[in-house]
């Protein structure tokens, strides 16, 4: 039987006898719920411990060591992308997503699901399916995540709708926009339908949209706000995500532009989250100077309720650009030492009137995540 219901049951249900036979330290059943998290150490050492805003990081195997020592919010880097979980149809690999979820559960940290709908790292097998089957598979994907991880804090429903929608018939491009209604009368019907599904499957979660190169570009901000307002009209969105990658925060755009666009996003009344911040570090001095130039504008903005770095150790996405804060030997770079003191209120942000004097933060280094 290969109906959506049968596949959902196979992906999410667990046999009680099988669970009874294996202890919590055994290898997890790939079709069962994630293993119970071990009790974790307190997170009092996290940079933003006790603050009103969280400061989190992407979670992945290279980023797992001492995660809660530094950060108090978890986003899976790749483990929650549909193509990583279900590369083969009906064969679910939850390993990396379970690890991120387990870290959040063990330390009592908020968890952001990244990501339900995107135009990258999607299952290749879905691209050639009839529209009706695509729709059934999308619903099955939503239901499987909701069943396995109950009570997710934040669900990133659609990632990069402006720059990378799931409309491409290529490697990992998804090609399933029509299964969600296509452009439709609004021009963005597929996004509205994705959020309707998310509200149905994640009724207690805060639903987010996410995009890159927004705050540096007033035109992109205006287009993004069109989508946000459509979602608001149906009560479908709870938060706005802006990524904050290094190629969007170079000195080509004054930080005053970022601040003004954050004002526009905040005027919706929705909280804004910086979801994938990285600051390149070709050398320690450049990285420190750029953290001091960039980070306070996001952190101090009243609409911004939290910031998530896109990794902090070697092995992160912008490895070649030196965006890590902790070296291979475990020592901290100066930018991390400053960031800790700044977030804790021990030092003030530098003046921004000389922001153009800092060199640009490196090359683009590829597409965002």
Per-residue pLDDT reduced to its tens digit, 122-155: 999 999 999 999 999 999 999 999 999 999 999 9
pLDDT at 363: 42
pLDDT at 44: 75
pLDDT at 350: 87
Is the confidence at residue 24, as pLDDT, over 70?
A: no
Q: What is the mean pLDDT of residues 25-47?
A: 56
The rounded distance, in Å, linking the Cα atoms of 239 and 193 is 17
Residue 19: pLDDT band by 50, 70, 90 thresholds?
Answer: very low
Q: What is the mean pLDDT of residues 244-248?
A: 98
* Global pTM value: 0.87
Share of the chain above pLDDT 70, in %: 84
pLDDT at 288: 98
Is the confidence at residue 359, as pLDDT, over 90?
A: no
Residue 360: pLDDT band by 50, 70, 90 thresholds?
Answer: very low
pLDDT at 32: 62
Is the confidence at residue 362, as pLDDT, over 70?
A: no
Query: Between the CA of residue 80 and those of 101, 122, 141, 212, 254, what are the distances in Å?
Result: 10, 11, 11, 18, 34
pLDDT at 29: 46
Is the confidence at residue 36, as pLDDT, over 70?
A: no
Q: What is the mean pLDDT of residues 190-210?
A: 99
Per-residue pLDDT reduced to its tens digit, 203-241: 999 999 999 999 999 999 999 999 999 999 999 999 999
First vs last Cα of the chain: how many Å apart?
35
Per-residue pLDDT reduced to its tens digit, 85-112: 999 999 999 999 999 999 999 999 999 9
Residue 27: pLDDT band by 50, 70, 90 thresholds?
Answer: very low
Share of the chain above pLDDT 90, in %: 82
Q: What is the mean pLDDT of residues 8-36?
A: 41
**Mean pLDDT for all residues in the chain:** 89
pLDDT at 25: 31
pLDDT at 7: 43
To the query of whether residue 276 is one of the catalytic residues in this protein, the response is yes
Q: Active-site residue among 156, 211, 276, 369? A: 276
- Return the minimum-mean-pLDDT range out of 24-38, 194-208, 275-289, 329-343: 24-38
User: Domains in the chain, ordered, with CATH?
Assistant: 4-12+45-357 (3.20.20.80)
């Amino acid at each position: 039987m290969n109906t959506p219901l049968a596949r959902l049951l196979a992906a999410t249900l667990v046999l009680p006898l099988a669970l009874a036979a294996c202890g919590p330290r055994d290898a997890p059943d790939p079709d069962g719920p994630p293993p119970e998290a071990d009790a974790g150490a307190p997170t009092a050492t996290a940079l933003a411990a006790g603050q009103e805003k969280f400061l989190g990081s992407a979670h992945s195997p290279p980023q797992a060591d001492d995660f809660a020592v530094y950060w108090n919010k978890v986003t899976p880097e790749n483990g929650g992308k549909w193509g990583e979980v279900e590369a083969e149809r009906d064969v679910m690999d939850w390993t990396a997503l379970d690890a991120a979820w387990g870290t959040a559960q063990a330390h009592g940290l908020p968890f952001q699901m990244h990501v339900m709908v995107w135009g990258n790292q999607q299952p290749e097998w879905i691209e050639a399916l009839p529209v009706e089957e695509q729709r059934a598979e999308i619903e099955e994907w939503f239901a499987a995540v909701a069943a396995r991880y109950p009570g997710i804090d934040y669900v990133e429903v659609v990632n990069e709708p402006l720059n990378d929608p799931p409309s491409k018939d290529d490697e990992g491009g998804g090609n399933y926009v029509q299964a969600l209604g296509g452009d439709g009368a609004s021009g963005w019907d597929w996004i509205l339908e994705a959020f309707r599904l998310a509200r149905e499957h994640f009724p207690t979660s805060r639903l987010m949209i996410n995009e890159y190169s927004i705050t540096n570009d007033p035109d992109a901000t205006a287009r993004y706000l069109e989508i946000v307002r459509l979602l608001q009209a149906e009560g479908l969105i709870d938060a706005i995500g802006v990524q904050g990658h290094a190629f969007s925060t170079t000195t080509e755009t004054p930080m005053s532009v970022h601040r003004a666009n954050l004002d526009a996003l905040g005027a919706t009344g929705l909280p804004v989250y910086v979801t994938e911040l990285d600051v390149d570090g070709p050398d320690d001095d450049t990285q420190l100077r750029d953290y001091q130039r960039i980070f306070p504008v996001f952190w101090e903005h009243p609409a911004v309720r939290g910031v998530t770095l896109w990794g902090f150790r070697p092995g992160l996405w912008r490895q070649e650009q030196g965006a890590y804060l902790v070296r291979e030997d475990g020592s901290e770079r100066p930018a991390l030492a400053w960031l800790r003191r700044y977030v804790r209120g021990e030092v003030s942000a530098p003046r921004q009137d000389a922001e153009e004097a800092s060199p640009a933060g490196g090359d683009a280094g590829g597409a965002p995540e």
